[in-house]
């Protein structure tokens, strides 16, 4: 059956009766119905999960102290959480160390928000490669970077292992501190609209971005947008199935985003100070290079 998730799901556990009794009338009806009728769920590919909040409730105030009493309702295989707090949904991305508003009102459309093809707020990163290497994590597990990103680890499948979800999130917070808040930012236009006139320097930066993206995945068409307030140029590939995207800073630094990475999320990461090293770009290019 397809049920709640558009591409199908499987039941992988139960929901604590205490959770259903205590929170059932506070969550969207579609979620309460899933809790009562089926239980904990995974999408067909295992990436998005409707979890039993009881798994994480004992540690929520520790791993998200900025939102006391937050109710964890969804997780991804990377340990990202969607939590309900004071009538809103919040996305917490522990591997990258930040949280942001996900949906500004709790509604029965929550399942659609999670899987809508235009909503890429839950980046898959190297999920398919990690599954091929390690299998799909259980409902109480997640993929985690063996050397966390906060400690200089790379976003590469060779740096991934399967972890217990609760213990891994506690570890990340103890190692790097609680997730910080990203301000609600204006989204990049979809598709992004280029600045009418690029300066000579911005044109040079755009060319560099195109060259870097072409090394990872060739494309004949590119779009460019100037973000003078962020001292950067945004370059994206226009190709069937989506293309790579990159911020190129006036200082020469780069931030690469894979095709599945939400454009507003990469803007968030740029503004938070994340950058992609030359070594990581080379690793990404090698990962996508056809094998003989």
pLDDT digits (tens, 9 = 90+) for 7-50: 789 999 999 999 999 999 999 888 999 999 999 999 999 999 99
Predicted confidence at residue 120, as pLDDT, reads 54
Domain positions in the chain: 1-184, 200-288
CA–CA distance, 145 with 125 (Å, rounded to integer): 12
Say whether pTM exceeds 0.85: no
Pairing state of beta strands 141-145 and 160-164?
antiparallel
Rounded Cα distance between 98 and 52, Å, is 23
Q: How many of the other CB atoms lie within 10 Å of CB of 105?
A: 9
Query: Using a CB cutoff of 8 Å and minimum separation of 24, what contacts does 161-168 make?
Result: 161/134, 162/134, 162/135, 162/137, 163/79, 164/140, 165/51, 165/55, 165/56, 165/75, 165/79, 165/137, 165/140, 165/141, 166/55, 166/56, 166/59, 166/140, 168/79, 168/94, 168/142, 168/144
In the chain (292 residues long), the average pLDDT of successive 10-residue segments reads: 73 96 92 94 94 98 97 97 92 92 73 63 85 98 94 90 98 94 53 59 93 88 86 84 84 82 69 83 74 56
Question: What is the pLDDT at residue 185?
Answer: 43
Q: What is the SS3 assignment for 255? A: strand
List the beta strands (DSSP E) in the chain. Answer: 9-13, 40-43, 48-50, 71-76, 81-85, 88-93, 98-103, 141-145, 160-164, 180-181, 222-227, 232-237, 245-249, 254-257
pLDDT, position 72: 98
Strands 48-50 and 71-76, bridge-based pairing: antiparallel
Model pLDDT, residue 76? 95
| Residue among 66, 69, 68, 145 nearest 98 (CA) | 66
Give the pLDDT of residue 232. Answer: 92
- What's the pLDDT score for residue 259? 65
Residue 143 tokens, joined = 């993929």
């Amino acid at each position: 059956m397809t049920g709640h998730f558009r591409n199908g799901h499987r039941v992988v556990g139960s929901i604590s009766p205490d959770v259903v009794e205590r929170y059932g009338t506070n969550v969207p009806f579609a979620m309460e119905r899933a809790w009562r009728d089926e239980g904990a769920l995974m999408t067909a590919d295992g990436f998005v999960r409707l979890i039993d909040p009881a798994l994480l409730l004992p540690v929520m105030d520790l791993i998200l102290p900025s939102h006391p009493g937050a109710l964890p309702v969804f997780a991804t295989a990377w340990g990202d959480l969607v939590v309900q707090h004071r009538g809103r949904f919040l996305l917490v991305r522990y591997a990258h160390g930040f949280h942001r508003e996900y949906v500004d009102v709790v509604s029965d459309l929550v399942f659609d928000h999670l899987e809508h093809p235009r909503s890429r707020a839950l980046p898959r990163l190297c999920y398919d490669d990690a599954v091929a290497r390690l299998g799909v994590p259980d409902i109480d597990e997640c993929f985690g970077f063996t050397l966390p990103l906060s400690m200089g680890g790379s976003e590469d499948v060779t740096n991934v292992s399967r972890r217990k979800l609760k213990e891994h999130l506690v570890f990340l917070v103890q190692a790097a501190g609680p997730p910080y808040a990203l301000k609600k930012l204006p989204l990049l236009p979809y598709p992004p609209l280029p600045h009418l006139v690029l300066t000579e320097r911005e044109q040079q930066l755009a060319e560099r971005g195109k060259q870097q993206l072409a090394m990872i995945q060739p494309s004949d068409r590119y779009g460019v947008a100037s973000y003078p307030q962020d001292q950067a140029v945004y370059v994206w590939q226009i190709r069937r199935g989506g293309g790579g995207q990159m911020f190129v800073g006036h200082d020469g630094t780069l931030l690469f985003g894979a095709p599945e990475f939400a454009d507003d999320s990469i803007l968030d990461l740029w503004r938070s100070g994340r950058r992609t090293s030359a070594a990581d770009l080379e690793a990404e290019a090698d990962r996508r290079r056809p094998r003989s």
